[in-house]
Amino acid sequence: MLRCYGARGNSFAFKWGSKMPETLRVLITRFLCGAMAAALLPILPTYAYAGITIKFYVEVDTQAKDAGDFPAKVKSPNSYVLLEDSYLHFKGDEEGIYDFEKKAIYSINREKGIYSEMSLFANVGFRDYELRNRRFMSGALEHAGVEDNQMSLIFSEHELSVQAKESKSDILREERNGGILFKGEGKEILRVGGPIIELEGKYRKQFIRFFRHRYGGHPSLIDQLTPSSGIYSNITIWQRNVGEKKTHLHFISVEETQTNSYSLEGLKPFAETNDRLLALVERVAGTTESNRKKVEAEILLNARQLIDKKDLVGAMLAYLEYTLVSGAQDLPWTEKDRQLLLNSNEVQEMLAATQNPTSREEAVSQIASMEDIRKKQTEGSHILKIFESNTRASLGEHNVARELMMGALEANPYIAGAWKDLGGFYFQSYEPYEAWICWDTGRRINPDHPLLKDINSFEERLQAQHPGFF
């Protein structure tokens, strides 16, 4: 079944490219008070079923104050998107797959024979976090009396395709030249028109997901792309954050397609991240619960041996390490060992240095104490790095904090709680891809770790607040 339409328009293609760490002390306070990869190729179905392929071309005009890497005009005449129930596969100036069951995005480079995988949550999480930042900037510019505010909230919502809570964006609708034009702040943001291309309801929903991920669109307007019987054959969208980008899409045909699902066969996985982080992830790739249990047993054995050697600070740090790996709230120590450790002045001084500071002065003092202990302590110093990392992060020393957390994980990559905090550092630095690598690694090591439950809750919130992306 093939339908062709001949309307034409002008155009642009928009490319997406461009204090959260949970403190570990909560867990430690509980037990003290209580006692006191390698990436795998996706397994894909091979049966055939029907999908819909939409062919289109895209043109991009860029008029930015500082265009940077953006050329003035880009054309992608031979583009298509394959819409299936659980995924979509697009190809034009770029190729990629959105798998909504796996919650994954695959970016494909056929020329190099590689693909990279990113969490769908990383994409949506960035939009959510970025909108908060832009909302603050928009308010600051508005308060300063800046005219023609390019950071206007409505433009950010339109570009990111997410809407601020309780936002009341004022968008005007005009009938013009047989189409519909939508304006925000008096400027064009979306135009639809041309013949309607018939499309079944479930595919219209999938088309909207494709458009939001690839091109944006204000959430209050996104349903305007698909009237009740199909989709408009001509869609133009403007992005007005800094300068102006105008994207025109002309949809040419819709064709029923028999598919065998998608396949990444013949492509090699490629992680677009720094080698140091990748090396850490590979050390625990394919890990199992039995691997982690073995590590936990070795830590407890080490704690017992350190007590025998009278290295009480080292033994206490080993017990802390066990908690951070296992997530256990109660330590498997004897009452005698508990009394011995907690009655030690050196152990008490070390524990005091790792508590949440109540002031900047206290934080600075605690950091100095932890540095001094680390210089003297041969056993367990990497655990002190975790606490020092969080304390430095509270002072805004994010680069140093990240370096310390990486150092702790290099000593023991099974510390699930440290993966959680490292991911938080990346997320705050607008590196969501790396953030979810860390969080997924931590959950792979210990899916039931209490410190990682916040990540599950965060993902649930993203799905609830932005269901159109999932």
All structural domains of the chain with their residue ranges: 7-18+41-269, 275-456
**Model pTM?**
0.83
Radius of gyration of the chain (CA): 27
Helix (H, G, I), strand (E, B) or coil at 12: strand
Residue 441 has pLDDT above 50, yes or no: yes
Asked if 154 and 185 touch (Cβ cutoff 8 Å), the reply is yes
Q: In the prediction, which pLDDT does 418 show?
A: 97
Does 6 score more than 60 pLDDT?
no
Calculate what percentage of the chain has a pLDDT beyond 70. 87
Per-residue pLDDT at 48: 54
pLDDT at 110 over 90: yes
Phi first, then psi: give them for residue 357, nearest 5 degrees: -70, 150
Three-class secondary structure of residue 364 per DSSP: helix
Does the pLDDT of residue 434 top 80, yes or no? yes
In the block, residue with structure tokens 């080698």: 275
Question: Nearest 5°: phi and psi at 274?
Answer: -70, 150
Residue 117 has pLDDT above 50, yes or no: yes
- The answer to whether the CB of 300 falls within 8 A of the CB of 332 is yes
Q: What b/e sequence results for 30-65 when a residue is b if at least 16 CB atoms lie within 10 Å of its CB, and e otherwise? A: ebbeebeeebeebeeeeeeeebbbbbbbbbbbbeee
Q: Is 81 helix (H, G, I), strand (E, B) or coil?
A: strand
Give 140's pLDDT tier (boundaries 50, 70, 90).
confident
User: Which one has a higher pLDDT value, 24 or 48?
Assistant: 48
Of 37-46, 168-177, 331-340, where does the model show the most confidence? Answer: 331-340
Listing DSSP states for 212-251 in one string gives HHHH---TTTGGGGS-TTEEEEEEEEEE-SSSEEEEEEEE
Quote the Cα angle for 224-131-439, to 5°: 110
pLDDT at residue 146 greater than cutoff 90: no
Is the pLDDT reported for residue 202 higher than 70? yes
**Which pLDDT belongs to residue 261?**
86
What CATH code would you report for 275-456? Answer: 1.25.40.10
Residue 147 tokens read as: 């005219």
Q: Taking every pair of C-alpha atoms in the chain, what is the biggest distance, in angstroms?
A: 86
Is the pLDDT at 460 greater than 80? The verdict is yes
